[in-house]
Amino acid sequence: MNCEVSQLKELEVEHFEIREVLRCILHTIMFHRALGLVRPKDVDLELFDITYVQCGDVELEKKIDEKIDQFICWVEKHPNKKSQICLSFYEVKNNKAIWFSNKVERLYWEQWYINLNVAQHHKPTSSKSHHSKVVDSEGASEERSARRAAIEVSLREVLFQIIKFVNEKKDHIPPIPSREGISFPYEITIPSSSDTTFGMDMIKRMLQTGHPTMLS
Amino acid sequence: MASSRGNVHSDTAKKEQIITEFFTKTLQIILESRSPYMSSRHYSGEQVVSSPSPSSSSSPSSSSFRTRDKWFNLALRECPAALENIDFWRQSNLEPMVVDVILVQRSIDWDPVNFSPQRDILKNPTLKEQVSNFMNLESEDPCVVEPRNEKVIERWVVQYESRKSRDGSSSGSKKSSGNLHSLYKKSIVLLRSLYATLRLLPAYKLFRDLISSGHIHTYTLTHRVSTFVEPFTRREEVDMQRFSFAPVDTACGRLCLSVLYRSIVSDGSSGPSTPMSPQFIPDYVGSPLADPLKRLPSLPRSHGSPSCSPFSRRHSWSYENYQASSPLNLPSPSPSPSPSPTYSDSHASVSKCRSRLPPPLSLPQHLPEAFQATSKNVGYDEYWPSPVFSPSPSPSPPMYIARTDASKALLRCESAPVSIPISKAFNREILRPSPPPKLTRAATLKSDRSTGPSGSSVEKFSLGRDESGRFSGLRISTNSSPGISFSRSSSRPSIPDDFDDAEFACPFVVDDDDMGSRPESLDQKGKPCDPLDHGGSFPVRTSQDAAVGALVLMLKKAPPLRQDSLMASKADIEEAVLKPDNQQQSQKGVCTNIQSSSLAMSRTTADALEELRSYKELKELLLTQGKSSQVIDK
């Protein structure tokens, strides 16, 4: 089984925007992958003029918020770093050979990489941003609103990117195992305390993807 | 409603049911986020709108609804209207389903009951009403709202393309069942993305505002479901973007879903259309060139009197002429009122133009006669091209505008010098047309002499250029497209210094020509009528003011002028014969403007030649006499 990987467009966000942006993206992906019976729930973002859809699953909401909290903690400890959140879907297969090991084989069939570039709150915008530094408070507010609008556009693009990917890649989706809303097991990976570990995780996951028979 | 369930036995029936349900669900999902009457968003989840017909109760009592709600694992509130529509659809799954989301502008008188603010209060009691509203929006609204402005802001097209061959051939029941599973699973995903996309498209903001805000809206959203696509106009299509969902492709067939939507949707009164119009209008109005063009086409044809048309053309041709010539000489008589407005738009010097115009009236008489000789056939031809311009205002206007802007600035500065600047503009035009330096030189020489008679050295120079231009214009005019000539003329204005009144005359003449034969176009150069018009222009050469007056006169007295032009044309031809070089220049494709100027110039050149000849003769006579005398003396 193939593992489809989607690298979402990088978003430049400020610290206080992380939560909403991540919620929006993660829930949108989950809504497209929770192929069981769901009762969709519209959510309007507070910071942006965007409406996204949740599955209406309390557990999922809770888990996503937990992961976002962890991610925000990590960002605070590692400022000025680009970060990546990975949402993976997999199938579980018991491997008799390693039954004793208590390990269950995870067959990843889809991975979403959310790329964030978190700007520091106190600093203006990172040098990368195209916004010119405006000293005036008025100018700053204008810049802020312009930046906000730019992020909204980018976020909308990411949401459409998700929708397009979901539309184009359908053959790799395994049969729907359950009638419950969250039909497929999933996993949200955030950078761990050490970058290297995170990187290793990613590499491992990639390898697993390539070779489904390997244990996670 | 759910009639097909009885056929569950066969895969085909299952497939049909899936497809039918897909249509239903799609419609429901769309309407749920587009039709304020069936929006689920603002009702509690429990407030399910039951089917309209049997019971108005909001309770989702019947199990059938719930069952149906689970289709595609997407639980929505029951949507009676959609279901009814779907029943209609079930009979033909192969027909496409087109859902138009329509933005309706309402007058202030619009019935508040239907508006969102009241909805919450009314929802329970008026479920039926809502349904009826939903179903009959179009019929009801017209009664209430007279001025109704509808605009399709989204068009959803759902279509099923079956693969007949495969359907029958694919034998294995397992296969088909697998296909069915695949079809169903992919349909789920497609509907999920449809659901999410609906909330990302611009129209959703309208819908959300409509439902949530407390104030009364001047618009509402309605929809239309049909089996055929009512094509958009090109203009409408320009504003639309397409988003196609990847079709659900299985062995059974393809389920296709796509949407055409307006990227810019304004809930305001007129929406996108309003902003657009202002933008275009200013440009046209602001640019004098554009106005002239517009007027030109209509005026020449409509007006029997040449005077009106000339003005219009003038505009198109060059501001310079007007500015330079207008103010000074012809204050009193404004031959054509209609043209004046255009002038005003383009130039502050409108008044000047008018003033200028009147003088021409007096002049024309003189000019035509004098100029006729010079030739002006070519000039006519050139003028003809200008008429062509008028007919095709749209393409040419931009050119004019740009040039005009430049010319305007120039003109303004030049306006003080009046006559001279104008001539310059013409000269430039002429100059451009006359690529061959040799010709120009010859022309200048001749012109100098000719100018001598006319009186001003400056004129002489201009004449030389004019000559070249004239020649080119005469023959070239046919070749060159009017539009090109215009552009040249406009650019020329920057050069203005070179030429004299004669140039002014030329523009006027051109106008006249346009009046008479404009529609015909450049090619008509050969026609006698054109020459006549040119003849009128010739007089102008003598003096800008005089030229203006002559033009006016010409316009007023079209028939006589034509005769004159004919005469002039003959003269021109003769001149052309005399000066082959000039002809070559004309071939290059000089613009009409050039031609006109050239005509004026040609007179001078011809005159100059004659003068030269006479001088030579005198010289020879003197020499011979001197020799003879010397000899005698000796």
Are B70 and B218 found together in one domain?
yes
Give residue B74's pLDDT: 80
Are B483 and B530 found together in one domain?
yes
- Interface check B185 vs A, CB under 8 A: yes
- What total number of domains does chain B contain? 2
For residue B247, being part of any structural domain is answered with yes
A83 closest CA partner among A203, A199, A162, A204: A199
Instruction: Enumerate residues 6+ apart whose C-beta is below 8 A from B24.
Output: B71, B82, B83, B86, B89
pLDDT at B17 over 70: yes
3-state secondary structure of A129: coil
Give residue B427's pLDDT: 40
Averaged over B89-94, what is the pLDDT?
Answer: 64
For residue B626, being part of any structural domain is answered with no
Give residue B500's pLDDT: 42
Give residue B92's pLDDT: 67
Give residue A27's pLDDT: 93
pLDDT band at B181; cut points 50, 70, 90: confident
Give residue B14's pLDDT: 81
- Interface check A165 vs B, CB under 8 A: no
For residue B174, being part of any structural domain is answered with yes
Helix (H) or strand (E) holding B255: strand B253-262
- The answer to whether B74 contacts A40, with C-beta atoms less than 8 Å apart, is yes
- The answer to whether B196 contacts A53, with C-beta atoms less than 8 Å apart, is yes
- The answer to whether B192 contacts A28, with C-beta atoms less than 8 Å apart, is no
| Mean pLDDT across chain A | 79
Give residue B631's pLDDT: 56
Helix (H) or strand (E) holding A41: strand A41-44
How close does chain A come to B235, measured CA to CA in Å? 26
Closest residue in chain A to residue B181, using alpha carbons only: A175
Are B232 and B338 found together in one domain?
no
pLDDT band at B186; cut points 50, 70, 90: confident
pLDDT in tens, B521-555: 334 344 443 434 444 344 434 567 777 777 777 77
And the tokens for B284? 């046209």
- Interface check A53 vs B, CB under 8 A: yes
Using a pLDDT cut of 90, give the percent of chain B over it. Answer: 1
Give residue A58's pLDDT: 87
For residue B366, being part of any structural domain is answered with yes
pLDDT at A203 over 80: no
> How far apart (Å, rounded) are the C-alpha atoms in residues B530 and B376?
9
- The answer to whether A175 contacts B74, with C-beta atoms less than 8 Å apart, is no
CB pairs under 8 A between A and B: 74
pLDDT in tens, B188-201: 889 999 999 999 88
Averaged over B256-268, what is the pLDDT?
Answer: 76
- The answer to whether B199 contacts A52, with C-beta atoms less than 8 Å apart, is yes
Give residue B557's pLDDT: 67
B600 closest CA partner among B435, B479, B474: B474
pLDDT in tens, B432-490: 443 444 443 433 344 344 333 444 333 333 333 444 444 433 333 333 333 333 333 33
pLDDT band at B79; cut points 50, 70, 90: low
Between helix B308-317 and helix B501-517 the angle, nearest 10°, is 120
For residue B127, being part of any structural domain is answered with yes
Give residue B86's pLDDT: 60
- The answer to whether B73 contacts A52, with C-beta atoms less than 8 Å apart, is no
For residue A216, being part of any structural domain is answered with no
Find out whether B8 and B20 touch, Cβ atoms under 8 Å: no
- Interface check B208 vs A, CB under 8 A: yes
Give residue A210's pLDDT: 52
For residue A205, being part of any structural domain is answered with no
pLDDT at A26 over 90: yes
Averaged over A19-47, what is the pLDDT?
Answer: 89
- The answer to whether B197 contacts A163, with C-beta atoms less than 8 Å apart, is yes
Q: Of A88-97, A148-157, B307-316, which range is least confident?
A: B307-316
For residue A210, being part of any structural domain is answered with no
Domain residues for the domain of B261 are 3-271
DSSP sequence for B31-94: HHTT-TTS-STTS-TT-----TTT----S---HHHHHHHTGGGB-----HHHHHHHHHHHT-TT
Are B323 and B231 found together in one domain?
no
For residue A208, being part of any structural domain is answered with no
Averaged over A47-72, what is the pLDDT?
Answer: 89
* Residue entry with tokens 């809504």: A31
Long-range contacts of A38-45 (CB under 8 A, 24+ apart): A38/A181, A38/B73, A38/B74, A38/B75, A39/B45, A39/B75, A39/B76, A40/B74, A40/B75, A40/B76, A40/B195, A42/B41, A42/B199, A44/B208, A45/A20
Whether the CA torsion B33, B39, B40, B43 is positive or negative: it is positive
Distances (CA, A) of A196 to A200, A207, B142, B417: 6, 16, 68, 80
Give residue B13's pLDDT: 79
DSSP B526: G
Using a pLDDT cut of 90, give the percent of chain A over it. Answer: 20
> How far apart (Å, rounded) are the C-alpha atoms in residues B281 and B275?
11
Task: List, in sequence order, every beta strand (DSSP E) within B136-239.
Answer: 149-162, 219-226
pLDDT band at B89; cut points 50, 70, 90: low
- Interface check B197 vs A, CB under 8 A: yes
A55 alpha-carbon distance from chain centroid: 16
Whether the CA torsion B435, B437, B442, B445 is positive or negative: it is positive
DSSP sequence for B441-500: HHHHHHHHHHHHHHS-HHHHHHHHHHHHHHHIIIIIHHHS-HHHHHHHHHHGGGSGGG--
For residue A33, being part of any structural domain is answered with yes
- The answer to whether B193 contacts A175, with C-beta atoms less than 8 Å apart, is no
Are B19 and B74 found together in one domain?
yes
> How far apart (Å, rounded) are the C-alpha atoms in residues A36 and B222?
32
- The answer to whether A38 contacts B41, with C-beta atoms less than 8 Å apart, is no
Better pLDDT: A72 or B450: A72
Say which CATH number the domain at A18 has.
Answer: 3.30.900
Are B267 and B294 found together in one domain?
no
For residue B23, being part of any structural domain is answered with yes
Averaged over B303-311, what is the pLDDT?
Answer: 37
Residue in B73, B184, B204, B259 to test binding to A, most A beta-carbons within 10 Å? B73
Are B360 and B233 found together in one domain?
no
Find residue B97's DSSP bridge partners: B158
Find residue A113's DSSP bridge partners: A7, A86
Give residue A135's pLDDT: 52
| Mean pLDDT across chain B | 53
Are B206 and B297 found together in one domain?
no
pLDDT at A95 over 70: no
Give residue A161's pLDDT: 92
pLDDT at A158 over 90: yes
How close does chain A come to B33, measured CA to CA in Å? 10
pLDDT at B390 over 60: no
Better pLDDT: B512 or A91: A91
Find residue A116's DSSP bridge partners: A11, A83
Averaged over A34-52, what is the pLDDT?
Answer: 88
Question: CB B237: neighbour CB atoms within 10 A?
Answer: 12
For residue B625, being part of any structural domain is answered with no
For residue B630, being part of any structural domain is answered with no
Find chain A residues with C-beta within 8 A of B76's C-beta: 39-40
Better pLDDT: A55 or A97: A55
Averaged over B498-504, what is the pLDDT?
Answer: 41
pLDDT at B270 over 60: no
Averaged over A43-52, what is the pLDDT?
Answer: 89
- Interface check A163 vs B, CB under 8 A: yes
Give residue A112's pLDDT: 92
- What total number of domains does chain A contain? 1
Domain residues for the domain of A61 are 4-198
- Interface check B70 vs A, CB under 8 A: yes
Which one-letter amino acid corresponds to residue B128? K
pLDDT at B357 over 70: no
- The answer to whether A38 contacts B76, with C-beta atoms less than 8 Å apart, is no
Give residue B611's pLDDT: 76
